[in-house]
Every structure is written in structure tokens, then in C-alpha cells.
Structure 1
Amino acid sequence: MRTSEQERFWAHVVKGPAQEDCWIWTGAIADDGYGRFWIKDGDGQKVVRPQRFAYQLATGLQLPEYVLLMHSCDVPICVHAV
């Protein structure tokens, strides 16, 4: 993961004032209402869900594609990795 990707990611996040508040994704939104974030993948790019990217930043773990990451708040554009 590149530092510039992290900087780009955080530039699209608005954190609520309280620790438990949602962190709202302000970047690209797909037709399904969930965010989209482009990262480098070899010589090209790939789209990832911002909440998965936030989880990776918070934990250092990259989840396999088949693992679902659920929101505790049910807000599709929330990226708060609690």
C-alpha cells in the first residue's frame, strides 16, 4: 500500500465528532450506494470498497475477496473500521 493511496483515501473521508460516529466516504459512489476507491494493482488499477481499504489501514490485514465486511451502522458510505 502506497502512502499516496492513503493520503488520497483520507482526503475523501469526513469523520464525525464522536469516536463512535460514522466516517463518511465523500469520494466516488457506485450505483449500489457503496463507495468506490481506485488503487494501483501491478501495472494497472483496480476498484476496491473504501470500507475494505479502511479496514486494511486499521488492522494491516487484507481480507480475501470472499470475506464479507459488514457495517455495524448499516450506512453504505460509512468507512469507520471499528
Structure 2
Amino acid sequence: MRFFEKVDKGSEFDACWIWKGAIDEDGYGKFRMPDKSVKGTHIISWELANNRTVPKGWHVDHLCRIRACCNPDHLEAVEHSENVRRGTSFAAKNAAKTHCPRGHEFTAENTRWHHNSRECITCIRQRDRQRRQAQRAEREFDSARGD
């Protein structure tokens, strides 16, 4: 098959199968199919090894974290949310956090979602309390000056 002519299966010391053909701007191998469509090499490799297509809405995750790898033993079809969670993106790193920057745990009771991001309710309450105290002190200062 023409696909495997562009795969470097490495050696016994290197288990990744590196794609030697075209690579997209994100580092993933790409391959032009007979119908002229372009598909990710990791997806083609997974589909050939599993004899089925990737389920709709799912992604093929690189367990080895090497984007140009198309060794089916290094690939797993997972839901989009799982693929993001396993990644190293900003969103993945934030999703993995269990505590806010001040050390309060993100629990169902202590977490508020605002514009698709988590907020610590304990921190919100402390911030609001400090703001009210500052406003009260400012009013007292103004009344003491006679404003």
C-alpha cells in the first residue's frame, strides 16, 4: 500500500513509526486519499489496524505524544473531552488543577462556572468582603473630612 511507503518503522529501540511524508502546521502527518481528500496519518493507521472508522466526534490520541507517529499501538480513539484532558494545552493544564491559586479546593460546593472557567467561591467571598470594607472605610474617611 502506498501509505506504508512513507512510514519509517524505526528499529527495535524506537517503537514510534514516524511519518516521512507531508506534515501539517501542527506536526501531524497528512496523506491524500484516493478520493483526493486529505486525512491525518494517525487516523488512517488507527482505522487500518482496527478495521473500522473513528467514531463520529471522537479523536485519535497519540499515547506516545509524538504527533508524526502512526504506530497503531501508540494510538487510541477517545472522546474529544478525554483527548483535551490528556493534552498539554492551556485548557488541559487548567482542567487538571484541583485547587485555586490560593489553595482552596475546587469542589462542587466551592466552584462557580463563569464564562467557561472555574472560580473559587471562597476567594470570591473574600474579595467581596475586602471590597466592602474598603468602601466602608472610604465613606467613613469622607464623612470625617466633612465631604
Task: Name the one with the larger helix percent.
Answer: 2
- Give the corresponding residue for 2:122: none
Q: Distance in 1 between matches of 2:4 and 2:56?
A: 22
RMSD, matched Cα: 1.6
Paired residue total: 73
TM-score (norm 2): 0.46
- Give the corresponding residue for 2:57: 66
3-state SS, counterpart of residue 70 of structure 1: strand
- Give the corresponding residue for 1:4: none
Structure 1: which 5+ runs fail to align? Answer: 1-6
Residue 28 of structure 1, aligned match among 22, 45, 57: 22
Bigger radius of gyration? 2
Q: Does 1:40 align with 2:40?
A: no
TM-score (norm 1): 0.80
Q: Deviations over 1:22-73 (max 9, x none)?
A: 00000000111111101123xxx11100011011111101113521110111
What percentage of aligned pairs have identical amino acids? Answer: 34
Q: Distance in 1 between matches of 2:52 and 2:13?
A: 22
3-state SS, counterpart of residue 69 of structure 1: strand
Q: Which has the higher contact order (CA 8 A, sep 6+)?
A: 1
Structure 2: which 5+ runs fail to align? Answer: 74-147
